[in-house]
Amino acid sequence: MAKLQKSIQKKAALLKATLHLINNGGIQEASMAKIAKLAAVSPATIYLYFENKQDLINQLYLSVKEMYAKVAFENYESNNPVKKCFEQIWLNMARFKQDMPEESSFLSQCDNTPMIDEETREQGLVYLHPLFSLWERGQAEGIIKEISPYLLYAYTIYPTAFLMNMHARELFKVDNEVLHLAFQLAWDSIKV
């Protein structure tokens, strides 16, 4: 049992090291040797937990995406009114991006880079399913515009990635006031 625990810890350390390296310097700076070193492990050990580098990155992507979804749907009461529900999810997602800047910067790197297989990407999308359902409900109730979820996503969720990116680079401070302003912009753009 202690053994299993240790294994889990080691795998987590490897994922964390990879996240950190990719985040500060991109994929080019994240060599297996450096990952191993940062995780205080032999390069060979990586191959006990991951098939190869691509597998390591795919698994990292999925694990971060899962974390993201977990935060996104915290305290989500699906029988609340649509706007209330959406606000909850939106603020949760923003909070994730605020509290876990490395994870969220990694995700936006993945989204704009041929780093992740299309297949793994699709798997990651599944985590967001409750949001899509909510939008459908909003559209059925005539509260949300009858447009593609891609448009809804583009104008409500995607912009926060940009804002947090600017925040991380210290070009624009995103505090709670800005956040609530941003939600207003997001909601205004998709409400009927």
Partner DNA sequence: CAAAAAAGAATGAACATTCACTATTATCTG
Partner DNA sequence: CAGATAATAGTGAATGTTCATTCTTTTTTG
Q: Interface with a second copy by CB under 8 A: which residues?
A: 23-29, 105, 108-109, 111-115, 118, 147-148, 150-151, 153-155, 158-163, 165-166, 169, 171-172, 178, 181-182, 185-186, 188-190
Is 3 near DNA (CB under 7 A)? yes
What is the C-alpha to C-alpha distance for residues 140 and 138, in angstroms, rounded to an integer?
A: 5
**Which position among 12, 26, 52, 122 is part of the footprint of DNA (CB under 7 A)?**
52
Residue 112 interacting partner from a second copy, DNA, none (CB closer than 5 to 8 Å by kind): a second copy
Which 8-state DSSP code applies to residue 27? G
Is 47 near DNA (CB under 7 A)? yes
Closest CA to 131 of 183, 92, 176: 92
What is the C-alpha to C-alpha distance for residues 57 and 18, in angstroms, rounded to an integer?
A: 8
Question: Cα 168 vs. chain centroid, distance in angstroms?
Answer: 15
Q: Determine the 3-state secondary structure of 56 from DSSP.
A: helix
Q: Which residue number, 6 or 180, has a Cβ lying nearer to DNA?
A: 6
Residue ranges in contact with DNA by CB under 7 A: 1-3, 6-7, 10, 29-34, 40-48, 52-54
